[in-house]
Amino acid sequence: MCGIAGIIDTKPGPADKLRATLTALNAAMKHRGPDDEGVWMPPSGTAGLAHVRLSILDLSAAGRQPMSTADGGLHITFNGEIYNFRELRSELEREGMTFATHTDTEVLLRLYERDGPAMLTRLRGMFAFAIWDERQRRCFLARDPLGIKPLYYTLRGGRLAFASELRPLQQAGLTGGEIDPGALMRYFKTGSVAEPQTLLTDVHCLEAGHYLLWEAGRLAKRRYWQVEFHPEAMTADQAVTEVRAALLDTTRAHFVSDVPVGIFLSGGIDSTALTALARAVGQHDIATFSIGVDDAVLDESSTARRTAEHFGTRHEEMRLDADMARHEFTRFLRAMDQPSIDGFNTHTVAAFAHQRGMKVVLSGLGGDEMFGGYKSFDAVPRLAAAAHAARFLPGFGRASGWLLERYAPSHRARRIGSLLRSPAGIRDAYGCFRGIFSAHEAQVLAASYLHCSPRDIHFSPKHELLAADPRDAVSECELRFYMRNQLLKDSDVMSMAHGLELRVPLVDQALFRRVARVPAALRLRSGKQMLLDAVPEIPSWVSQAPKRGFVFPFEKWLGQGWGEAFARATARAPFKNPTWYQRWSIFMLDTWLERHGLH
């Protein structure tokens, strides 16, 4: 895991200026790669690649990046891990290719040399990388299928600049300061900034499963993968057998490392499943990490401790009280790349694992999205059906939705008003269920920040869903919108803030390909029963416990120290009595704007 950046231009510029900018990009990303850093520039002066390294595979100096082919034709800067790189390397060696290192980075270079963009369908892993072809004067940038590793870019006058985070581009002076109205509105609706937008008008996030080709100052973007379910007829026993085999396979793959790999262990099903699967694939010396809080209702540390004893892991636990939480919260705000209503949990446990000497940890993120762990899987189809039916009743429809959205005293009723004004499909009902503010509230709030009329801020285009089954459609929403735009982004930023590689075995394209064959009626049974059946080693005190989620008592902790800031956030809300999440979303945006001088 690393940080990557680069600048590609049509015209050569002063070499010292380009090198200074690349060095500044590396400095802004140093937290992502504390072990090493490098810069590459060709004699032409039209391109430059930068890289900061967190050494995980081939810890020697041979793994330094940017890396080049022996003939100097191709150059790469790469962030991530390719779990099947050894198999790909063997294949290339059989064809006569030779290798100078034991890294997955060199395998990427040689695979691109052979296959070009078609290489992407062969990769298993999490990645964002750029390859500069010196002979063709062409740059190829790609991001992994499910969106684990981020990649931001901006194109100005034919000059392409890119980086693993938005902040380096800002700090190196490669972006403007204009806020994107549509992105801001969508942030208020969902609590995160959705790809391909960022909060800055001139910076974009390359979507998961896409690649870019830059040539002669022009960019072409293409999709190579998307979330699709292809259910096949099978019995319940066949489904369990297939899912278990897929889970064991992804667990095995995610332990590929030249340094120890730990596990974030909460009291929940997903992280417990990972611990059980790690034991099942022969991992004996496992370090697990959890956090306990001073709130009996929210604290899951005793369950995690009991589970660790059951599986015989080396378990370490951090006790987090209000004073420590306020200290960590200050560091969390400094680590923020873009505002989000999530991420503090990951920041805190990642800091703890890093303090204990870890470089790589596994997270159970993705289990809820793949196996139906959220209330949305039942609630959203019901909500869509009810909203669709209500539109045909006398007195209901768009007009009543308009009134509800503006004048209803309840924030839930206002979001339902938004739903009634929409086509009321699964995507619309999902937005209502997951929403922070209603569409109208988000529009009014965004306008207040941009000092314009709400009518000047337009709705973002909606993404079409591919799944035919309503519950598969909810799973698609959770994977494409909530997980990709919030959970994965926050997990990357907050783990890399501590130089920690966070791997997510349940967010794996090979796993998805196999599990997506299981019909929704089996895969999405209530209580993640499919996952429980596939991993029967999960103990009863975990499997039978009610789902709580990994949350902290934020309001109790942050009332002191940030009370005034949260009061300002409350005053900004367009309606009385905003919820905690609504206040939180405003507070996080205000903090981000102030930090970047955009207030």
Please give the structure tokens belonging to residue 598.
Answer: 């955009």
**Span 44-69, mean pLDDT?**
85
DSSP state of 10: S
Measured CA to CA in angstroms, residue 8 lies from 218, 285, 454 at distances of: 11, 45, 38
Domain ranges of the chain: 2-223, 236-365+471-552, 376-462, 559-599
- pLDDT category at 254 given cuts 50, 70, 90 is very high
Instruction: Considering only residues 92 and 456, tell me which one the structure prediction assigns the higher pLDDT.
Output: 92
What residues have CB less than 8 Å from 91, skipping those under 6 apart?
none
Q: Which of 276, 268, 321, 269 is nearest to 294 (CA)?
A: 321
Task: Give me the mean pLDDT over the 169-177 stretch.
Answer: 94
Question: From CA 418, how far away is CA 471, in angstroms rounded?
Answer: 22
> Is the pLDDT score of 408 beyond 90?
no
Band of pLDDT at residue 59, cut at 50, 70 and 90 = low
Helix or strand or coil: residue 515? helix
The pLDDT assigned to 396 comes to 65
The model's pLDDT over 233-249, given as tens digits with 9 standing for 90+, comes to: 999 999 999 999 999 99
Least confident of 47-51, 368-372, 378-382, 561-565: 561-565
| Token reading at 86 | 């050894």
The residue ranking higher by pLDDT, 118 or 412, is 118
Ramachandran assignment for 102, one of left (phi > 0), alpha (psi -120 to 50 degrees), beta (any other): alpha
The per-residue pLDDT for 253 is 96
pLDDT value at position 593? 94
pLDDT band at 475 (very low <50, low <70, confident <90, very high): very high
Look at residue 553 in the predicted model and tell me its pLDDT: 65
The yes-or-no verdict on residue 508 having pLDDT over 70 is yes
What is the average pLDDT value for the chain, to the nearest integer?
Answer: 91
Q: How high is the pLDDT of residue 552?
A: 62
Q: Report domain 236-365+471-552's class.
A: alpha beta
CB neighbourhood size of 196 (10 A): 14
For β-strands 360-362 and 261-264, DSSP reports them as parallel
Q: Is residue 599 predicted with pLDDT exceeding 70?
A: no
Q: What is the pLDDT of residue 12?
A: 87
Tens digit of each residue's pLDDT (9 = 90 or more) over 277-328: 999 999 989 999 999 887 767 778 889 999 999 999 999 999 988 788 888 8
Q: How confident is the model at residue 374 (pLDDT cuts 50, 70, 90)?
A: very high
| Residue 405 reports pLDDT greater than 60 | yes
pLDDT band at 1 (very low <50, low <70, confident <90, very high): low
pLDDT in tens, 103-152: 999 999 999 999 999 999 999 999 999 999 999 999 999 999 999 999 99
Q: Count the neighbouring beta carbons within 10 Å of the beta carbon of residue 105.
A: 26
Give burial (CB, 10 Å; 0-12/13-18/19+) of 117: middle
Q: What CATH number is given for 2-223 in this structure?
A: 3.60.20.10
* 471 CB-near residues (< 8 Å, 6+ apart): 372, 377, 381, 520, 524
- For residue 137, what pLDDT is reported? 93
pLDDT > 90: percent of the chain: 72
Residues facing 585 on adjacent strands: none
Q: What does DSSP say about strands 2-8 and 314-320: parallel, antiparallel, or unpaired?
A: unpaired
Strands (E), 475-586: 501-503
Q: How many other CB atoms sit within 10 Å of the CB of residue 300?
A: 22
Q: Output 299 or 537, whichever has higher pLDDT.
A: 537
How much is the pLDDT for 418?
A: 87
Q: Which amino acid is at 236?
A: A
What is the mean predicted confidence (pLDDT) over 60-82?
A: 91
Residue 550 has pLDDT above 60, yes or no: no
Predicted local confidence at residue 564, as pLDDT: 76
Alpha-carbon distance values, 198 to 222, 259, 584, 599 (Å): 19, 34, 19, 16
The DSSP letter of residue 397 is S
The CA-atom distances, in angstroms, between 377 and each of 214, 273, 463, 469, 532 are 40, 21, 19, 11, 17
| Per-residue model confidence as pLDDT tens digits over 174-233 | 999 999 999 999 999 999 999 999 999 999 999 999 999 999 999 999 999 999 999 999
How many Å apart are CA 505 and CA 252, to the nearest integer?
9
